[in-house]
Every structure is written in C-alpha cells, then in structure tokens.
Structure 1
Amino acid sequence: MSYEVMVVEYFRRRLKKLSKKYKRIGEDYKSLIETLENNPSEGDAIPGFGNKIYKIRMRSSNMKRGKRGGFRVIYYLSDHIVYLLTIYTKAKREEISVKEIKEALRGLEITL
C-alpha cells in the first residue's frame, strides 16, 4: 500500500533554510519521500505520542557521513498520509523538544 506524503509549512521553512547550506539536500529529500511512501513505519516512534509521531534518519550527500550523521526528520503518521513536521541536522542537535514537535503539529490542528 502506498502512502501520500504531505509537507507542513513548518517543515517547508526548515528545509528551505537548510538548503542554503546543504545544496544537495533536494536529492536526499526525494529518496526519503520514496521510502516513506512505501514504508512509513520505518522510522522510530517517539515516546509519548501514541505511535503517531516518528523520527527517521535522512542521509546528507553534502556531509558525506551517511544517515547517522545526516538529517533527522520528524513526521506524523495518519491513516494513509505521512505529514512531514520538521527537519534538523544531527550535527546541530541530538534530540528535538516536545515543544517544537507540538509547534509543528499546530499547522495540522492536531493535539496529542
């Protein structure tokens, strides 16, 4: 079964900001979209959100560190739709705060 991938405005802004430094992020992003369309539960569920919010690694062609040192994408999994919430680099931070996840969810008018 194929899932539809939707992008919330918060994610779009973060991706645009990162694309200024990481010029090849678009290629890496396309690969992630294909993965999520076919297997959206490949990411790791973030505790406290009832198996609805996931984190997945995304490689960075610019950093040349593979998935482990690349980007992290947080997404919300609904019936047959994957909503991309936010993206950040592993180099800048280890984890994302619950506050930031909730801020990204605000665009979907979803509370967990």
Structure 2
Amino acid sequence: MYFVQSVSRFDKDYKGLKKKFQKLNKDIDPLLCDLEKGEFPGEPIPKIHRFANTVYKARCAIKSANIGELGGLRVIYLVQETTIYLLAIYFKGERENMTQKEISEIISSSGL
C-alpha cells in the first residue's frame, strides 16, 4: 500500500480547478485509489533529473462535464519508495503539456 500526498503546487492547481469543476474530487478518486494500491497509471516522463522512470503523467476524464480522458485532466506525480507525491494537476483544455523543466522546478521547490 502506498501513501498519497500532495505538494503545495498541486493543492493550488486543484483549488482553481475545483471552482470550475465542482465534482472534481469524484473525477480523480479512481486515480487516487489506483495509486494507493500501487498501480501507476499513465506514462513515465523521461529525463527528469534524478527521477528517471518515477515521474508519471496520468489522464483523467471529467465525467461531470462530459469530457473524456484526451481532453480532460492531467495529473503529474512522483513515486518515491512507498510515497506518491501529487505534483500538479491541469485541464488539457486550458494548457498544453508541462515541460520537464517546470516539473523539475516543482520537485525542487517541494523539497523532494
């Protein structure tokens, strides 16, 4: 079993999205359950300094707004031993992919 913890950047992003999608918690619950069970959905993000193959980008549908996985949410997370850190969440309809540099900065500023 894994412990899932969010960093301040994720919390800030989540709060902003929650205003737009009131049932956001229901939309990401399946992902959080998978992470707690030790399943790592999504694709590894390569070339993140010191964290090769442990940073992932997962897609989530926004069922409450009838938006599928392709146009829905992106959750960036880091796996370290038995802890999973939720780094960032964003709506694909509002921004393109996060750069590796942005992700590295989130990791550094979170003290990981």
SS at match of 1:11: helix
Deviation at 1:47, TM superposition (A): 1.2
User: Any unmatched runs of 5+ in structure 1?
Assistant: none
TM-score relative to the length of structure 2: 0.87
Equivalent-residue separation in structure 2 for 1:42 and 1:13 (angstroms): 23
Equivalent-residue separation in structure 1 for 2:24 and 2:80 (angstroms): 25
Equivalent-residue separation in structure 1 for 2:106 and 2:59 (angstroms): 18
| Residue equivalent to 2:61 | 59
Of 60-69 and 86-95, deviating more is 60-69
Aligned pair count?
109
Of 36-45 and 75-84, deviating more is 36-45
SS at match of 1:66: coil
SS at match of 1:109: coil
User: Any unmatched runs of 5+ in structure 2?
Assistant: none
For 2:60, the aligned partner's letter is M
Equivalent-residue separation in structure 1 for 2:30 and 2:63 (angstroms): 11
Identity of aligned residues (%): 35
Deviation at 1:68, TM superposition (A): 1.9
For 1:7, the aligned partner's letter is S
| Residue equivalent to 2:9 | 10
TM-score relative to the length of structure 1: 0.87
Within 5 A, what are the aligned runs for 1:34-53?
A: 34-49=33-48, 50-53=52-55
Task: Say whether the 8 Å CA contact 2:8–2:110 is kept in structure 1.
Answer: no
Q: Deviations over 1:16-74 (max 9, x none)?
A: 01111111101112222101112342221001021021100112123312222210000
Equivalent-residue separation in structure 2 for 1:103 and 1:76 (angstroms): 13
For the aligned residue pairs, the C-alpha RMSD in angstroms reads: 1.5
Equivalent-residue separation in structure 1 for 2:107 and 2:39 (angstroms): 18
